[in-house]
A and B are shown apart, each in its own frame.
Chain A
Amino acid sequence: GAGVSQSPSNKVTEKGKDVELRCDPISGHTALYWYRQSLGQGLEFLIYFQGNSAPDKSGLPSDRFSAERTGGSVSTLTIQRTQQEDSAVYLCASSLGQEKNIQYFGAGTRLSVL
């Protein structure tokens, strides 16, 4: 597509439920990133994919968080047993994965855990 697409744009869930957030990167971009942004804060790195593999998962805050990427394209970030502190905007970015690596961001998914 023309840009990075994320869905849903907003998600309201109850504490304890599982959620899945989807990211559709720019066509041809081999690198894909997930970030979390709390209100009024900067971007917190979660995980990075190069192709379908994730060489760096160091930012995932707990084992309730997982992500996968299939076909070198779409990625899904899953949060199990959501907690109120998981409420944030989850941003996805993609890039060509080359040395000069400008990341292009989607509009994000705003997650609210009640």
Chain B
Amino acid sequence: GENVGLHLPTLSVQEGDNSIINCAYSNSASDYFIWYKQESGKGPQFIIDIRSNMDKRQGQRVTVLLNKTVKHLSLQIAATQPGDSAVYFCAENTHRPPNNFNKFYFGSGTKLNVKP
């Protein structure tokens, strides 16, 4: 399978600070990326996505940056709150024939701890 990994398995930040979670991917043909948030005992929840024809996309308090040159993806969370504490996964997707379906490869995740 594809190798989608994370630089930091755990990240601790102070409430109110900005958080940056990083992800590396190996398939240069990947054209679509998603960040998911998984709280304890729950399934992953969609946060934000980005296509390969973009290098930045912003949502509410979150920004995803894509650097295709070095195959690197990051998730920035502004003014981190205790409710942001969770495991964050990046997932990459490549449209491959003949099935051409959206098979995602997930990284192992980064645990974000927000200290009050």
Contacts and interface: CB of A to CB of B under 8 A. Distances in A.
Contacts, number: 60
A25 interface: no
Interface residues of B, number: 26
A42 B91 CA distance: 10
Contacts of A108: 42-43
Nearest to B98: A55
B10 to A, nearest CB: 11
B101 A55 contact: yes
Interface of A: 4, 31, 35, 41-43, 45, 48, 50, 55-56, 91, 93, 95, 97, 99-108
A31 B100 CA distance: 13
Contacts of B108: 41-42
Interface of B: 1, 32, 34, 36, 41-46, 49, 51, 89, 91, 93, 95, 99, 101-109
Given A42-B106, A43-B89, A102-B34, A56 B46 contact: no
Contacts of A41: 108-109
Given A42-B108, A43-B89, A102-B49, A95 B102 contact: yes
Contacts of A97: 101-102
B101 A43 contact: no
Given A99-B95, A101-B93, A102-B46, A43 B106 contact: yes
A33 to B, nearest CB: 8
Given A42-B106, A45-B103, A102-B34, 9 more contacts: A45-B1, A91-B43, A91-B44, A99-B102, A100-B49, A103-B46, A104-B46, A105-B43, A105-B44
